[in-house]
Amino acid sequence: MSQQTVKSEVLQVLADRRSVKQYQAGHKMPKEDLEQLLTSTSQAPSAWNLQHWKLVVIEDQAHKEKLLPIAYGQKQVIESSVVIAVLGDLEANKNAPLVFGPAVEGGFITKELYDNLVGQIEGAYQYPQVARDEAIKNASLAAMQLMVAAKAMGYDTCPMGGYDAAKFVEAFNVPARYVPVMLISVGLPAAPGRPSGRLSLDQITVSNSF
């Protein structure tokens, strides 16, 4: 496949992505599709490569029914194939040994560089606001990657911020380490998502400086 073809297809996926709220109820996503979707999501970029996300994959119908009132009755919760709750990791600094340890062992980075990186990370994570900002920011990158990957695979999605985060934490036993960022429904559309108006480039961009 040529680079031009890849470019065209990726840009088309981005252009075609819409928030879809009506799904083919009862469709079960094949295991291999779900694994591919999650793998693609896991390849999102993150600060220091700490991968500040945890994904709660809700595909069991009983659990989706439990989620429905928490999501204020939004029907896509129970009609979609799967709902993925994207959580941000408030203690992503603890991932540093898992991320950089193998790189040291493989000779890709030095122990000195490892120590410097860990020092930077631990210094930043002394501040709870930094930890929270990084958790939400980087988990959101994974969420966007999930939606783009789903579209490329023939599925549609809808990101949902309208839910009771505190009740979600309680109902799904979320540890204090994680903060809910958003819910994303994924499934086969029953009706296409409608095009939405977009602000012009002149309205959203500033050249060099205000």
In this prediction, residue 8 carries a pLDDT of: 82
Question: Which residues are bridge partners to 85 per DSSP?
Answer: 56, 183
Q: What is the mean pLDDT of residues 35-64?
A: 98
In this prediction, residue 3 carries a pLDDT of: 76
Query: 190: which 2 tokens?
Result: 């029953």
Confidence of residue 122 (pLDDT cuts 50, 70, 90): very high
> Is the pLDDT confidence value at 89 over 90?
yes
Q: What is the mean pLDDT of residues 58-87?
A: 98
Q: What is the mean pLDDT of residues 173-179?
A: 98
Which numeric CATH code is attached to 18-195? 3.40.109.10
- % residues pLDDT > 90 (the chain): 91
> Is the pLDDT confidence value at 185 over 90?
yes
Neighbours of 42 (CB within 10 A): 13
In this prediction, residue 1 carries a pLDDT of: 66
Q: What is the mean pLDDT of residues 52-67?
A: 98
> Is the pLDDT confidence value at 88 over 70?
yes
In this prediction, residue 196 carries a pLDDT of: 82
> Is the pLDDT confidence value at 4 over 90?
no
> Is the pLDDT confidence value at 140 over 80?
yes
Confidence of residue 203 (pLDDT cuts 50, 70, 90): very high
**Which of 108, 86, 112 shows the shortest CA–CA distance to 99?**
108
> Is the pLDDT confidence value at 7 over 80?
no
Distances in whole angstroms, Cα of residue 210 to Cα of each of 96, 153, 202, 206, 207? 38, 40, 13, 6, 7
Distances in whole angstroms, Cα of residue 173 to Cα of each of 91, 93, 167, 170, 195? 17, 22, 10, 5, 37
Confidence of residue 194 (pLDDT cuts 50, 70, 90): confident
- Look up tokens 């990791």; give the residue: 89
Q: What is the DSSP letter of 193?
A: P
Q: What is the mean pLDDT of residues 150-161?
A: 97
